[in-house]
């Protein structure tokens, strides 16, 4: 399985990268974001949401776990599972994977066992104040095609 890399030099690069991924969206798409605090996960979601036509102010759903944005060209389900502990099953994360929208999960490595087999994993590595190396790992043909097209 190939890894695809992108170097973001600033917030605009990360937003543009997210918009490029969004241009290849499809129903029931799952994007898993992994990386330390402040690495650009929420910035990615903002760029993606903007490209979907969602005008809401996108913030990390740390306390809600899930925020639903239904006013774009496709539903966006934004999750932050950082604070999830034993309650993983009770919030029905997997229910969102089949709602014909796009699910983006921040800190997805914390719920690895709950993730669908086919998904796009995006890891953010902080290089310095502005620079991030973004590594995409596709799981499944649709996600490989997306990476080949975008990266």
Query: Residue 85 has what pLDDT?
Result: 65
- Read off the tokens for 67: 């925020």
- The predicted model scores a pTM of 0.94
pLDDT, tens digit, 9 for 90 and up, residues 3-20 = 799 999 999 999 999 999
Question: Mean pLDDT of all residues in the chain?
Answer: 92
State how beta strands 66-69 and 132-139 pair.
Answer: unpaired
pLDDT, tens digit, 9 for 90 and up, residues 64-86 = 789 999 999 999 999 999 877 65
- pLDDT above 90 coverage of the chain, percent: 81
Closest CA to 41 of 113, 131, 134: 134
Domain 4-150 architecture: 3-Layer(aba) Sandwich (3.40)
Each domain of the chain, given as residue ranges in start order, spans 4-150
> d(Cα 96, Cα 66) in Å, to the nearest integer?
10
């Amino acid at each position: 399985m190939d890894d695809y890399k992108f170097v973001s030099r600033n917030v605009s690069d990360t937003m543009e990268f997210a918009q490029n991924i969004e241009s290849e969206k499809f129903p029931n798409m799952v994007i898993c974001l992994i990386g330390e605090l402040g690495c650009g996960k929420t910035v990615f979601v903002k760029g993606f949401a903007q490209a979907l036509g969602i005008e809401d102010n996108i913030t990390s759903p740390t306390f809600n776990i899930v925020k639903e944005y239904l006013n774009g060209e496709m539903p966006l389900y934004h999750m932050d599972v950082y604070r999830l502990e034993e309650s993983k099953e009770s919030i029905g994360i997997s229910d969102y994977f089949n709602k014909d929208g796009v699910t983006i999960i921040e800190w997805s490595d914390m719920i690895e066992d709950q993730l669908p087999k086919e998904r796009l994993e995006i890891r953010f590595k902080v290089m310095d104040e502005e620079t991030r190396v973004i590594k995409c790992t596709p799981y499944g043909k649709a996600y490989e095609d997306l990476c080949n097209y975008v990266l």
